[in-house]
Amino acid sequence: MTKVIKAKFNNVILIRLFLIAIVLISVLYLYFLNNTIQAVIESKNNYKNIQIISQEYQSLENKYFNLLGKIDIDYARQMGFVDQAQRVDYIVRQTAVAYGKGF
C-alpha cells in the first residue's frame, strides 16, 4: 500500500514539474516572439528612413550639379572675378652668394 501512495505522489510531482516547464517554455516563447516582431518592425522603419535620406541626398546632389553647371567664366566675372593674366608682377629675391661668420 505504501508503495502505491509513493508512486502516486511521484506522479503528481512530475505532472506539476511538466506543467511548470510548459508554462515557462510558453512564456519564453512569447517573449522571444515579441522581441523578433519588434526587431522586424524597427527594421522596416529603418528601411523607410534610409529611403527618405537617400531621396534627400539625391535631391541635394542634383542641386549641386545644377549649380556646378551654372558656374563658368562669365558668371565668375559677374560675381567680381578679375583675371590676373593681364597684370603680372614678379617678386625678386636676392640671395647672397656666400655666407660667412659674422657677416
Per-residue pLDDT tens over the stretch 39-62: 999 999 999 999 999 999 999 999
Per the structure, the count of domains in the chain is 1
Indicate whether 6 pLDDT > 70: no
pTM of the predicted model, to two decimals?
A: 0.51
Tens digits of per-residue pLDDT, 64-98?
A: 999 888 888 888 888 888 777 767 777 777 766 66
Query: Measured between alpha carbons, how far is 99 from 8 in angstroms, rounded to an integer?
Result: 114
Question: Once rounded to an integer, what is the mean pLDDT over residues 21-31?
Answer: 98
Q: How many CA atoms lie within 13 A of 12 on its CB side?
A: 6
For residue 49, CA distances in Å to 44, 53, 63 come to 9, 6, 21
Q: Is residue 93 part of a domain?
A: no
C-alpha cell at 52: 527618405
**Domain, as residue range, for 15:** 2-78
Task: Name the CA radius of gyration of the chain, rounded.
Answer: 42
Q: Is residue 88 part of a domain?
A: no
Indicate whether 4 pLDDT > 70: no
The per-residue pLDDT for 39 is 97
